[in-house]
Amino acid sequence: MTTRAQAIIARTEAHGAHNYDPLPVVLTRGEGVWVWDVEGRRYLDLLSGYSALSFGHAHPRLVAALAEQAARLSLTSRAFYNDRLPELFERLTALSGLPRVLPMNTGAEAVETALKAARKWGYTVKGVPPDSAEILVCTNNFHGRTITVISFSSVEAYRAGFGPLTPGFRAIPFGDAAALRRAIGPQTVAFLVEPIQGEGGIVVPPAGYLTQVAEICRGARVLLVLDEVQTGLGRTGRNFCFEHEGAHPDLLLLGKALGGGLYPVSAVVGTEEVMGVFGPGDHGSTFGGNPLAAAVGVAALDLLEREQLAERARVLGDRLLARLAALASPLVAEVRGRGLLVGVVLKPELGGARPYCERLLAEGLLCKETHRDVIRLAPPLIISEEELDWAVDRLGRVLC
């Protein structure tokens, strides 16, 4: 590492809160699936901003949409209408099959919005007694970092020192539909779940799980809330992960890739009945639904469809899983995932995935550990077959 990189890291650490532990590389430029550090070295991005960079770095269509709209009108607040938001609404409803959209900025805000909607629906529509609503979640979940969201995390490190925590949540095992059926009670208003647990280690539920939970929720008059902030918009080989099983939710949470890696854009998309609980003043955001966000979101959805990125993720994901399995690494306990969201699970006796991510960095790959023993592989959906093979070859050097 050069003196310049060391100086940048030192300045960052001197004044920034120490709430992250980055890998020792200082990035300065990105194009497509590649990024460069301040020393001129090139890396293939296998993290893609936790799926926010699904379209790669500095995609010219997204950059053009951002620049054009920024020069015209960036923010109005929702005190007024703007001419870009209707198209984003129309595109999201057409793509999801759900008729109403509430725009926000970050994935965590989308989750908080859905929790508010579910509770109010429980009181005003289902008839649950005031202040008694219960929302079911899954162990090993990750839905964000706000006080309410960490209140139902099963990771103690996310909760420690931040109490008092928000009540009204109960966790059940992920992938166990029978556990959901047993847990539902008279005050249960919603079940919040990731179709694939991302931060939890790329955990894929058993086949048919989402179909079963959708049926259980419908039968019990409980809302199904799917958090597709990481899995949505092509990542798993379909536009939305729930489409693999046709398990349509009452509320769908989107973010990350919706902003194209350029701008924070999120949305809650839902049914008329649930979204209808909100009236003027019930919920809002100064930046949510601003014209700049809408322009970028529309451009991102254009790219998703124009370049058939969901199908690309399906084909290349199958190739990635097959090639990783063929490595037959003695260090690997399991390879799991769907589309271009894959976890390489290392054997627990190795002491964690971080040292291997550092070795991959030296090979020109940007990866990050998740859930201690798992290397997350989630490249931009625009990656080519040749680039993917190049990455797997280097993974083989480190893991075999």
Selecting among 37, 55, 89, 142, the annotated active-site residue is 142
| Strands of 368-370's sheet in order across | 332-338, 341-346, 374-377, 368-370
Half-sphere exposure of 6 (CA within 13 A, CB side): 3
Q: Which residue out of 176, 227, 250, 373 is catalytically annotated?
A: 227
Spell out the residues 6+ positions from residue 259 whose beta carbon is closer than 8 angstroms to its own. Answer: 52, 265, 266, 293, 296, 297, 300
The answer to whether 157 and 372 have CB atoms below 8 angstroms apart is: no
Any idea of the CA torsion for 358, 361, 365, 369, to the nearest 10 degrees?
20
256 is catalytic: yes
Q: What is the DSSP letter of 218?
A: H
Q: How far is the C-alpha of 68 from the C-alpha of 215, rounded, in Å? A: 45
Strand partners, 342: 337, 377
Cβ–Cβ < 8 Å for 35, 273: no
Q: Does residue 116 carry a catalytic annotation?
A: no
Amino acid at 138: C
Q: Are strands 169-172 and 134-138 parallel, antiparallel or unpaired?
A: parallel
360 vs 89, 110, 242, CA distance in Å?
Answer: 41, 33, 32
Which residue do the tokens 């005003």 mark? 124
Q: How far apart are CA 246 and CA 313, in angstroms?
A: 18
User: Distance between terminal CA atoms of the chain?
Assistant: 26
Task: Give the number of other CB atoms < 10 A from CB of residue 23.
Answer: 14
- From the list 256, 278, 368, 373, the catalytic residue is 256
Active site residues: 142, 227, 256
